[in-house]
């Protein structure tokens, strides 16, 4: 069964304390893996797409990496404004574009 599992469910960091969020997936053929950020009461905001193992992408304090079984979202020196729920999703080969399978997210809280 296709599945996306994110860990930890929740993470509390001090400002400046770097860490990583994990997304492990089992799908029958991966077309792409996506990271989104979701603030309370808002819709998901696109961050990154990764297509192949070994690929890395960066944006400000965030860096996403991909292996054949999992992806990591590394947060370097986080700030309070990075507090949000981070969602991971996969798109299967042969499936409709943007038909995404989401994990349940990691709730990140960054304290000043």
Partner 1 sequence: NAGVMQNPRHLVRRRGQEARLRCSPVKGHSHVYWYRQLPEEGLKFMVYLQKENIIDESGMPKERFSAEFPKEGPSILRIQQVVRGDSAAYFCASSLWDSSYLHTEAFFGQGTRLTVV
**Interface with partner 1 by CB under 8 A: which residues?**
4, 31-32, 34, 36, 41-46, 49, 51, 87, 89, 91, 95-105
C-alpha pair distances (Å), 36 with each of 39, 43, 72, 94, 112: 10, 9, 13, 22, 23
The separation between CA 55 and the C-alpha centre of its own chain, rounded to angstroms, equals 14
Q: Using the minimum distance from each CB to partner 1, give the nearer residue, 69 or 99.
A: 99
Rounded least distance, CB 9 to partner 1, Å: 10
Nearer to partner 1, 100 or 110 (CB): 100
In contact, 92 and 102? CB cutoff 8 Å: no
CB of 30 to partner 1, least distance (A): 12
């Amino acid at each position: 069964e296709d599945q996306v599992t994110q860990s930890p469910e929740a993470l509390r960091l001090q400002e400046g304390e770097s860490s990583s969020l994990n997304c492990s997936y089992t799908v029958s053929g991966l077309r792409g893996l996506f990271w989104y950020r979701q603030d309370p009461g808002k819709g998901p905001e696109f961050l990154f797409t990764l297509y192949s193992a070994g690929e890395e992408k960066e944006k400000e304090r965030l860096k996403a990496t991909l292996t054949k079984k999992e992806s990591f979202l590394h947060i370097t020196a986080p700030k309070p404004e990075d507090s949000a729920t981070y969602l991971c999703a996969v798109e299967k080969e042969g499936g409709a574009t943007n038909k995404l399978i989401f994990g349940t997210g990691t709730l990140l809280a960054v304290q000043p």
